Amino acid sequence: MKKKKLTIQIVTAFPGLIKEYTTDSMFKRAVSAGLLEFKFIDLRKFGEGVHKKIDERPFGGGPGMVLQFDPIWQALKSVKTKAKTKNEKVILFSLRGRKLTGKIAEDFSKLKKITLVCGRYEGVDERVAENLVDEEISIGDYVLSGGELPALVLSEAVARFLPGFLGKQESLESIRGSYPAYSRPEKIINYKKGKVLKVPEVLLSGDHKKIAEWRLKNSSL
Ligand code: SAH
C-alpha cells in the first residue's frame, strides 16, 4: 500500500523563527517516516526592490504596516499553489477566522497539502483573504505578533491525527481528551511538612475497567 503523506507549506517572512521546531522530536520522526513533509516559502524573496519590501502603510491611515497582496500571491505561485484545489487547502491566519478545534484539525489531516499563510505587522491586505485562500483560521481570542506560532500549533494539532504519528497510548488521549496523569513516586512526602501528596486509589487498583471510567469522567471532552 502506498503511504499517505501530508505536505505542509508555510509562507512566512520569518522562517527562521519556526523552522527548528519542525525538525526535531515528533516532527523529525514523522518526516523521516515519510508521513509528513514541511516546506518553507520565504515571503521576503518575493518583496519589491533592493530592500525586498513586503509591507505598506494602511489606506485610511492608522498605526502599523500591512502585508501586501503581491508578495503572497507570488509566493503561492512559486509553488504552484491555488485555493479551491481538490485535496488541498490554503489557509490564512487571522483573528477573524474560524476558531481552530480538534475536529477541524482532524478534517485537515485528511488533505494532501496544507498551505499556511502567516500574517505579520498590523495584518494582511484583505484582498488576500478574499481571493487567495480557502479560509481564515484563528487559534484563539488573543493577539500574537504573527501567524508563525499559529502555523506550528495547527501543524502539530493536525499531525497528531496522521495514522502512525503517535504511539497507541497517546492516540487514546487525543480521541478521549486529556485526563490527569500520575507517575512515581506513589507518595510525595518531602514537598510540605505534614502533607503527603497521593495518587488517586483507583489508578493503583489494577482494575482496568474502573481506571478507564475514572479517566473518562475526568477527561476534557
Ligand atoms: N491588528 C491586527 C492584529 C494583527 S496580528 C488586528 O487587530 O486584527 C498579526 C498577524 O498575526 C495576523 O494577521 C495573523 O496572521 C496573526 N495572528 C495573531 N494572532 C492570531 C491568532 N490568535 N490566531 C491566528 N493568527 C493570529
Structural domain total, the chain = 2
**pLDDT computed for residue 169 by the predictor:** 55
186 shares its domain with 144: no
- Testing ligand 1's pocket by substitution, the residue of 92, 94, 128 carrying the most ligand atoms inside 8 A of its CB is 94
Residue 20 included in any domain: yes
111 pLDDT band (50/70/90 cuts)? very high
148 shares its domain with 184: no
**pLDDT computed for residue 135 by the predictor:** 98
Segment 90-104, tens digit of pLDDT:
999 999 999 999 999
Sign of CA dihedral 100, 38, 85, 146: positive
CATH (domain of 144): 3.40.1280.10
87 shares its domain with 163: yes
106 shares its domain with 201: no
12 shares its domain with 83: yes
Confidence check: pLDDT of 1 > 90: no
Segment 6-36, tens digit of pLDDT:
999 999 999 999 999 999 999 999 999 999 9
Measure 191 CA to ligand 1 centroid, in angstroms: 42
Segment 205-220, tens digit of pLDDT:
999 999 999 999 998 7
Closest approach atom of ligand 1 to CA 142: 22
166 pLDDT band (50/70/90 cuts)? confident
Instruction: Please check whether residue 18 is in contact with residue 12, taking contact to mean a CB–CB distance below 8 angstroms.
Output: yes
193 shares its domain with 112: no
Residue 181 included in any domain: yes
Residue 1 included in any domain: no
Strands (DSSP E) along 85-132, which ranges? 88-99, 113-117
30 shares its domain with 130: yes
109 shares its domain with 164: yes
Total residue count of the chain as it appears in this document = 221
Residue predicted with more confidence, 178 or 194: 194
Residue 42 included in any domain: yes
Phi, psi of 11 (to 5 degrees): -95, 115
47 shares its domain with 137: yes
160 shares its domain with 183: no
38 shares its domain with 69: yes
Question: Which residue, 61, 77, 95, 148, is CA-closest to 69?
Answer: 77
**pLDDT computed for residue 175 by the predictor:** 54
124 shares its domain with 35: yes
The one-letter amino acid code at 211 reads I
Measure 20 CA to ligand 1 centroid, in angstroms: 22
Pocket lining for ligand 1, CB < 6 angstroms: 93-95, 118-120, 122-124, 138-140, 142-144, 146-147, 150
| Structural domain for 113, as ranges | 6-169
Cβ neighbours of residue 112 closer than 8 Å, sequence gap 6 or more: 4, 5, 6, 7, 87, 88
